[in-house]
């Protein structure tokens, strides 16, 4: 989809313009993003070879829709909530909570989420979200960051080869699907906004 000079920089600006109740808007968007992250961490979707959460997809969507600052702030608050002991992460409180959980084998993936949201948001602000191929590339790069940071962290516990086998390989197919869904959602959002303008 072509980028228009007068267009808002990211999707959320078109849906809810920043001029209207700025403080309330920011708080509401961060809370909505946090609620979606929480739900996506807790709901497991049956998938092969392992069940998956939709958390990566939500992180990518938050980055694309919110931009890098608001997207980063939303994910950062989510991480702070988890660090403070709230059971917001996948597997909590069963597998621990707080800093002990974040310092465990899967903690690197959580920090990867923050990087991913900011990278996708930064590229979305530069118009990559208006073109399906560009936003797909942005999301793939962000997903590689999640896996890279997560596997490196996990590798300090089990070694890099084992980290790939446990923390990357089983999830690749699922992440391809999640990226495809996220790309489709972003493009559908812009398509709907353009149709509304034309109508």
- pLDDT one-digit tens code per residue, 49-98: 778 999 999 999 999 999 999 999 999 999 999 999 999 999 899 999 99
Q: What is the pLDDT of residue 19?
A: 75
CA distances from 167 to 53, 107, 146 (A): 14, 11, 11
**The pair of three-digit structure tokens given for residue 197, joined into one six-digit string:** 């303008």
- Residue from 109, 42, 45 nearest 75 by CA: 109
Alpha-carbon torsion (47, 52, 56, 61), positive or negative? positive
* Alpha-carbon gap, residue 96 to 89, rounded angstroms: 10
With contact defined as beta carbons under 8 Å apart, do 73 and 30 qualify? yes
Length of the chain: 199
CA distances from 75 to 78, 80, 148 (A): 5, 9, 18
Percent of the chain clearing pLDDT 70 (strictly above): 95
With contact defined as beta carbons under 8 Å apart, do 45 and 163 qualify? no
Q: What is the pLDDT of residue 20?
A: 62
**The pair of three-digit structure tokens given for residue 61, joined into one six-digit string:** 């969507």
Q: Which CATH number fits domain 30-198: 3.40.50.720, 3.90.45.10, 1.10.1760.20, 1.10.10.10?
A: 1.10.1760.20
* Alpha-carbon gap, residue 116 to 63, rounded angstroms: 7
- Phi and psi torsions of 45, nearest 5°: -100, 125
- Domains of the chain: which residue ranges? 30-198
Question: Residue 178's pLDDT band (boundaries 50, 70, 90)?
Answer: very high
Task: For 13-48, write each residue's pLDDT tens digit.
Answer: 999 988 767 899 999 999 999 999 999 999 988 888
Which pTM value belongs to this model? 0.93
Task: For 121-141, write each residue's pLDDT tens digit.
Answer: 999 999 999 999 999 999 999
Query: What average pLDDT does range 186-198 have in this prediction?
Result: 92
List Cβ neighbours of 52 (8 Å cut-off, separation of 6 or more): 44, 45, 171, 174, 178
Q: Is the pLDDT of residue 156 over 60?
A: yes
Query: What average pLDDT does range 186-197 have in this prediction?
Result: 93
Task: For 105-118, write each residue's pLDDT tens digit.
Answer: 999 999 999 999 99
């Amino acid at each position: 989809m072509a980028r228009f000079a007068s267009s808002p920089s990211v999707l959320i600006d078109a849906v809810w313009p920043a001029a209207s109740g700025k403080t309330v808007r920011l708080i509401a968007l961060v809370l909505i993003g946090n609620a979606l992250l929480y739900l996506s961490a807790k709901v497991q979707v049956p998938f092969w070879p392992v069940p998956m959460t939709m958390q990566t997809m939500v992180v990518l969507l938050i980055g694309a829709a919110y931009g890098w600052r608001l997207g980063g702030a939303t994910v950062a608050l989510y991480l702070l909530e988890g660090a403070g002991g709230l059971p917001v992460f996948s597997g909590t409180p069963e597998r621990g909570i707080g800093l002990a959980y974040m310092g465990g084998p899967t903690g690197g993936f959580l920090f990867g989420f923050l990087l991913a949201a900011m990278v996708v948001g930064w590229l979305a602000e530069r118009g990559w979200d208006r073109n399906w191929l560009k936003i797909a590339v942005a999301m793939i790069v962000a997903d590689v960051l999640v896996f890279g940071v997560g596997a490196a962290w996990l590798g300090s516990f089990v070694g890099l080869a084992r980290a790939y086998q446990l923390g990357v390989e089983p999830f690749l197919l699922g992440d391809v699907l999640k990226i495809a869904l996220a790309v489709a959602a972003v493009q559908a959002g812009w398509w709907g906004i353009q149709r509304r303008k034309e109508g």
